[in-house]
Amino acid sequence: MSDSAIIIAELTVSVDEAPRRAATAAAWLLDQLIIQPNDQPDPLWRPSRYVPGSDAAAAVRDVRHNTGPIGDGIDVLDQRQIHDPGGNYTSPACPNCTTPLDEDAHITLIKTWLDRTEPLVTCENCATATLLGDWRGPWAIHIANLAVRFNNWPLLSETFIHDLGDRLGPRCRLIHKRI
Ligand SMILES: [Zn+2]
């Protein structure tokens, strides 16, 4: 499977709305030639529905990656699930004072988010209450009904992340995963 992944997850889109938004995002990615259909899906070797398109390099931050293969498959995910950073995990930081959340407390809060709704979390240092998905860090964990996952891709450009985010919804979060 993959060794790393860049995930863009959207936190506000409902379960009912996610399939339509996912289709819109996939259509845009196909139209931009960032992705193309995977003509030879293989459950072990190439399980993703999409593979890099002929203009995939346009989505990448560093132009040195413009030659050679960009990465592995792309998954457009429209089911509610945990998006975790794997071995990159670092507890997220308070958006007001940057104090990190206690890891054990974070895992308990993630369970609350998964089972019920996104919790409002009060910082132990500055007492600011913030929704868990607004605590900062690309190595945090998010629950989302809608996401796009780029398997083994290099860093994506800010412009591309912004443009794709526009198609997904207003509350996108970036997760850098290492398996
Ligand atoms: Zn704080």
Enter the tokens of residue 145. Answer: 């009904």
> How many angstroms does the Cα of residue 41 sit away from the middle of ligand 1?
46
Give the per-residue pLDDT at 179: 86
> How many angstroms does the Cα of residue 92 sit away from the middle of ligand 1?
11
- Dihedral (Cα; 60, 64, 66, 67), 10-degree rounding: -150
> How many angstroms does the Cα of residue 111 sit away from the middle of ligand 1?
22
> How many angstroms does the Cα of residue 172 sit away from the middle of ligand 1?
21
pLDDT tens string 115-128: 999 999 999 999 99
> How many angstroms does the Cα of residue 9 sit away from the middle of ligand 1?
24
pTM of the complete model? 0.93
Residue 66 has pLDDT above 70, yes or no: no
Residue 1 has pLDDT above 90, yes or no: no
Residue 39 DSSP label: S
> How many angstroms does the Cα of residue 21 sit away from the middle of ligand 1?
33
> How many angstroms does the Cα of residue 122 sit away from the middle of ligand 1?
8
> How many angstroms does the Cα of residue 24 sit away from the middle of ligand 1?
37
pLDDT tens string 72-102: 999 999 999 999 999 999 999 999 999 999 9
> How many angstroms does the Cα of residue 94 sit away from the middle of ligand 1?
5
pLDDT, mean of residues 139-154: 96
pLDDT tens string 8-52: 999 999 999 999 999 999 999 999 999 999 998 888 888 999 999
> How many angstroms does the Cα of residue 93 sit away from the middle of ligand 1?
8
pLDDT, mean of residues 159-179: 96
Give the per-residue pLDDT at 67: 64
pLDDT tens string 148-158: 999 999 999 99
Q: What is the mean pLDDT of the chain?
A: 94
